[in-house]
């Protein structure tokens, strides 16, 4: 892989920004979690400060949801979008990538997921955390990355709290202790204050997924951050917490254990599709040295899964990618400590035995 230097990429980024005009129609596509939403907010606000115009369409995207991807593409074409910004999505690892044919004049990608391909081209400014930091790229969360980038071309320092919420959302506080502390002090708020935004975003993502675009604009248009906590979205919190707590509690009773390879499988039937990452985060925080795979059967005939391994002894993104090999229509990706994917449900057994085989081989060689 020929890699461009950080300086060159920064230049490409600045050119993208100075090339923006008020005639541009800009769309943003973001991962449907807190880091995705916050990086999309920082990007959207920066765009408005640079051009005088808000982005014309902002849409969430969840991995493996091809119907959503198709719909998103149709909508942004219909709106005559000429420039596209993609944040917090590892599009270089996706099959039907949004940028494959790039039906846009320009496309800007800001992401920190695993690097599969360098998509930099005439049209595409492809910024991966890997190109900018020597840290573990998963901890250079998209919100902080976008915050640092746009701060070079326009003042976004008032959006520091959004960068913090993204940091907490992607569980990367360890890497950004001093930045988060500084922000809390500057604003005279607390950690709890920051977490309230995270819970609010999580509950809308989980309980009222279709309202994410609405939540985006609520965040976008408020005068003071705290206003959003008093908004109508507050009502989804209670339901979210109830559902999450009951699934976390079920782990001890229902998870399948493979102690020799430090593995747990936990199958859930959840009322809400996207609750799984919040459930597994909580389970995994209590068991940082175990590989945890959460399986979720969906009514549509797909099996979705999430994996966690906080100590990174097993890179779960690699594990999942390897485990779906040979399974038709499988998809998987993510970070070393946190990854996800999906397969057609009839291949569930094959997937599980693949995971076990891979880990048994790994533990044997390391023993
Ligand atoms: Mn992220």
Q: How far is the CA of 4 from the centre of ligand 1 (A)?
A: 22
Tens of pLDDT along 196-214?
999 999 999 999 989 999 9
What integer pLDDT is reported at residue 1 of this predicted model? 47
What does the domain layout of the chain look like in residue ranges? 6-230, 246-366
Instruction: Give the SS3 label for residue 307.
Output: strand
Only one residue has tokens 């520091």, namely: 160
Sheet holding 57-61, edge to edge: 57-61, 26-31, 83-87, 106-111, 124-128
Q: How far is the CA of 141 from the centre of ligand 1 (A)?
A: 5
Q: How far apart are CA 229 and CA 232, in angstroms?
A: 8
Q: Topology of domain 6-230, per CATH?
A: inorganic pyrophosphatase (n-terminal core) (3.90.1640)
109, 116 in Cβ contact below 8 A?
no
What integer pLDDT is reported at residue 97 of this predicted model? 64
What integer pLDDT is reported at residue 98 of this predicted model? 67
Q: How far apart are CA 168 and CA 336, in angstroms?
A: 17
Tens of pLDDT along 268-291?
988 898 899 899 999 998 999 999
Q: How far is the CA of 61 from the centre of ligand 1 (A)?
A: 12
Q: How far is the CA of 75 from the centre of ligand 1 (A)?
A: 24
Tens of pLDDT along 28-71?
999 999 999 999 999 999 999 999 999 999 999 887 677 777 88
Tens of pLDDT along 107-138?
999 999 989 899 999 999 999 999 999 888 88
Q: How far is the CA of 289 from the centre of ligand 1 (A)?
A: 22
89 φ/ψ angles, rounded to the nearest 5 degrees: -130, 130
What integer pLDDT is reported at residue 68 of this predicted model? 76
pLDDT surpassing 80 at residue 95: no
* This prediction's pTM: 0.84
Q: How far is the CA of 58 from the centre of ligand 1 (A)?
A: 17
- Evaluate whether the domain defined by 246-366 bears CATH number 3.40.50.11780: no
Selection from 219, 241, 217, 240 nearest residue 229 by Cα:
219
Q: How far is the CA of 21 from the centre of ligand 1 (A)?
A: 28
Instruction: Give the SS3 label for residue 87.
Output: strand
What integer pLDDT is reported at residue 367 of this predicted model? 65
Q: For the chain, how long is the longest CA-to-CA vector?
A: 62
Q: How far is the CA of 170 from the centre of ligand 1 (A)?
A: 6
Q: What is the mean pLDDT of residues 76-100?
A: 85
Q: Which of residues 225 and 274 earns the better pLDDT score?
A: 225
Q: How far is the CA of 31 from the centre of ligand 1 (A)?
A: 7
Q: How far is the CA of 361 from the centre of ligand 1 (A)?
A: 30
């Amino acid at each position: 892989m020929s890699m461009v230097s950080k300086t060159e990429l920064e230049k490409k980024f600045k050119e993208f920004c100075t090339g923006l005009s008020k005639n541009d129609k800009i769309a943003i596509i973001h991962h449907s979690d807190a880091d995705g939403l916050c990086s999309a907010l920082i990007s959207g606000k920066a765009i408005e400060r640079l051009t005088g115009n808000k982005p014309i369409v902002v849409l969430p995207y969840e991995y493996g949801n091809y119907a959503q991807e198709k719909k998103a593409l149709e909508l942004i074409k219909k709106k005559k979008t000429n420039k596209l910004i993609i944040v917090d999505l590892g599009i270089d690892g996706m099959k039907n990538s949004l940028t494959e044919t790039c039906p846009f004049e320009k496309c800007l990608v800001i992401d920190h997921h695993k690097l599969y391909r360098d998509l930099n081209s005439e049209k595409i400014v492809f910024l991966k955390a890997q190109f900018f930091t020597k840290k573990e790229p998963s901890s250079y969360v998209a919100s902080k990355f976008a915050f640092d980038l746009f701060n070079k071309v326009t003042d976004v320092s008032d959006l520091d709290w959004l960068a913090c919420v993204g940091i907490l959302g992607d569980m990367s506080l360890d890497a950004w202790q001093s930045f988060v502390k500084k922000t809390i002090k500057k604003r005279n708020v607390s950690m709890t204050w920051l977490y309230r935004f995270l819970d609010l975003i999580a509950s809308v993502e989980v309980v009222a997924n279709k309202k994410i675009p609405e939540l985006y604009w609520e965040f976008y248009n408020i005068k003071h951050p705290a206003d959003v906590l008093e908004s109508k979205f507050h009502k989804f919190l209670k339901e979210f917490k109830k559902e999450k707590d009951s699934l976390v509690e079920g782990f001890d009773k229902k998870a399948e254990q493979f102690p020799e390879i430090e593995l747990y499988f936990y199958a859930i039937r959840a009322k809400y599709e996207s609750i799984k990452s919040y459930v597994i985060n909580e389970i995994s925080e209590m068991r940082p040295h175990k590989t945890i795979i959460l399986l979720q059967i969906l009514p549509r005939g797909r099996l979705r899964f999430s994996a966690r391994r906080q100590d990174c002894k097993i890179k779960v993104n690699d594990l999942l990618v390897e485990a779906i090999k040979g399974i038709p229509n499988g998809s998987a990706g993510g970070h070393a400590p946190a990854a996800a994917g999906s397969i057609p449900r009839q291949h569930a057994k094959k997937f599980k035995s693949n995971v076990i085989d891979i880990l048994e081989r790994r533990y044997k060689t390391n023993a």
